[in-house]
Amino acid sequence: MNLNPLSDCEKGFVLEAASQKTRLDGRKRNDYRSLKIEFGLDWGSCLVSLGSTRVFAQVSCEIYQPNNSRPNEGVLQISAELVGDNKLADLTKINQVLERFYKDSKCIDLEALCIVAEEKVWKIKVDLSVLNMDGNTLGCCSISTLAALMHFRYPDVVSTGEKVIIFSSSERDPIPLSLHHYPVVTSFAIFEKNDFIILDPSFLEEKVCDSKLSICFNNHRELCGVDIEGCACLSQELLMNCSNQASIVAIALVDKIKSKIKDDLEKRFKKLMQGLEPKIADESDLKLPEKLEIIGPKNVEIEKEEIEEKMEVEQNVVKVAVDTTIATCRESIKKISVLKDSIPNDLVIIDTESSESTESDEDDVEVVKQYNLTDSRPVIGKYVVSDGEESDTIVLD
C-alpha cells in the first residue's frame, strides 16, 4: 500500500510516458487489469482483486426502525475503511460516491425490506475493507459492493401482528436481495496537456493525472452517476467517448460477477466450498519454516528434550556380520571376537558402564543384550566396528 508522496522524478517519468501515449505497466489506454472475484463461506462475503488493489466486502443485516420520511422502506448503508493504522488515505469520498450511486439509482428494492410499516424494516449494511490501494480504489470498491449484494441472502421473516418470527437457514432458505439493476463504476485518468485518457489508472497515474473521471453505468447501459475530480476541462465529445466505453465495461463486469455467483452456488449445492482462506494462502509468498527456532535464553528442560530428541533421530543401524569384532571405547576396551570356523547364533554386546572392574577379563563382563547376526540393531553409545586387526576402525556416534 503506497501512500507516500511522489518524488519529482516519478512524476516526470509518468508524464513523459503519457506524452508518448505509453503506460508504465505495458497496458494499452483501454486495457483493464486482471480481475479476481472470490466468495467466502458466509453469504455476502466477497474478496475482489483488481491488479494489486484488493477490497474485501461483507454484507450484514439487522432489524431497524425506518425513517419517518420513508416508513415503508428499508435502509442501505455503505461504509469503506482502510485496514491498518495509516490515516493518510481518506475514504470519505468513496463512501459518499458509492452511497450516491447505489441509493440514487434505486438499484435495490427497499420496499421489499419492510417487515412492519413504520415499525420494523431490514437495514442492509455493506462494510468495505480496503486491503491494498494501487489505483482505481473506487472501481474496485464498486465491484466488491455489487458482488456482495448479489451474493447476499437475508433470513425469512413472518409477522403475525403481535410478534415477528425470524426463521433460521435450517428452517427456511434465506432470501436474496431484490435488485432492479446492477450499477458498476468505471474510472478514467485524464492527462489534458497530452490529450491522453486511460482506463483503470494505477496509483502513479492517479497521482500525476490532471483529472479523474468516474462514470457509473448498469447492465442496461443506463447512466447512474458521474463524479469528476480535478481541474481538467472536459468537453462533450470526451464525456461521450468515456461514457460509451464505461457502458461496455459495465456489461462485461456484470456478466463476470453473475458467472462467479453461479459457480459459487453450484459449489454450495455440491458442498465443495472452501472459503477465502485457501485462496489467500495460495497467493501469499510468505511461508513459515518447518521448524521454528526459539530466540532467547533456553532453560535446562528444553535443552534436555532437544538432546534426547537428537539422539533418537541420529541413531545409526549397524548390520552385524561374520568376522566382525565389536568393542566399546570408553574407560577400557573389551572385545568379543566372532569365531571364523563356526557362526554363532547370537552375538553379545558389552555394556562398560555396568562393569565394576576396568581390567577384568571378557568372562567378567556383564551381558546386556543378545542380537542375532542377521538382525539390524540401533547403536546406543559409541562403538568401534572393524573387520580385523589390520582394517581401519570406524567410530559410530
75: left (phi over 0), alpha (psi -120 to 50) or beta: beta
Task: Please tell me the predicted confidence (pLDDT) of residue 7.
Answer: 80
Give yes or no for a contact between 36 and 147, defined as CB atoms under 8 angstroms apart. no
Give yes or no for a contact between 313 and 338, defined as CB atoms under 8 angstroms apart. no
Total-model pTM: 0.68
65-118 pLDDT, tens per residue? 888 888 899 999 999 888 765 544 568 888 889 988 998 888 999 999 998 888
Three-state DSSP at 386 gives: strand
Grid coordinates given for 366: 556383564
Task: Please tell me the predicted confidence (pLDDT) of residue 282.
Answer: 57
Domain ranges for the chain, please list them: 8-280, 314-396
Task: Please tell me the predicted confidence (pLDDT) of residue 89.
Answer: 54
Q: At what angle do helices 236-269 and 137-151 cross, to 10 degrees?
A: 40
- Among residues 69, 66, 47, the alpha carbon closest in space to that of 57 is found at 47
Q: Whose grid coordinates read 437457514? A: 169
List, as one string, the DSSP characters of 115-174: EETTTEEEEEEEEEEEEE-SS-HHHHHHHHHHHHHHH-EE--EEE-SS-EEE--TTTS--
- Among residues 113, 106, 105, the alpha carbon closest in space to that of 74 is found at 113
278-315 pLDDT, tens per residue? 665 555 554 545 544 544 454 545 555 554 544 443 33
Task: Please tell me the predicted confidence (pLDDT) of residue 86.
Answer: 53
Task: Please tell me the predicted confidence (pLDDT) of residue 168.
Answer: 85
Class of domain 8-280: alpha beta
Query: What secondary structure letter does DSSP report for 383?
Result: E
- Among residues 70, 151, 50, the alpha carbon closest in space to that of 117 is found at 70
Task: Please tell me the predicted confidence (pLDDT) of residue 139.
Answer: 93
14-73 pLDDT, tens per residue? 888 888 888 888 888 888 999 999 998 889 999 999 999 999 999 999 998 888 888 899
DSSP run (H or E) holding 35: strand 35-39
395 vs 397: CA distance, rounded Å? 7
Give yes or no for a contact between 142 and 102, defined as CB atoms under 8 angstroms apart. no
198-244 pLDDT, tens per residue? 999 998 898 888 889 999 999 999 999 999 887 767 788 888 989 99
- Among residues 235, 194, 188, the alpha carbon closest in space to that of 22 is found at 194
Give yes or no for a contact between 31 and 126, defined as CB atoms under 8 angstroms apart. no
Task: Please tell me the predicted confidence (pLDDT) of residue 129.
Answer: 92
140 vs 199: CA distance, rounded Å? 13
- Among residues 281, 190, 186, 257, the alpha carbon closest in space to that of 225 is found at 186
Indicate whether 317 pLDDT > 70. no
167-177 pLDDT, tens per residue? 888 888 899 99
List, as one string, the DSSP characters of 323-342: T-EEEEESSSEEEEEPPSSS
Grid coordinates given for 215: 462514470
Indicate whether 256 pLDDT > 80. yes
Angle in degrees, CA 394, 396, 397, rounded to 5: 150
**Stretch 145-166: mean pLDDT:** 88
Work out the mean pLDDT of the chain and round it to a whole number: 75
Task: Please tell me the predicted confidence (pLDDT) of residue 372.
Answer: 47
Indicate whether 189 pLDDT > 80. yes
Amino acid, res. 325: T
Task: Please tell me the predicted confidence (pLDDT) of residue 232.
Answer: 67
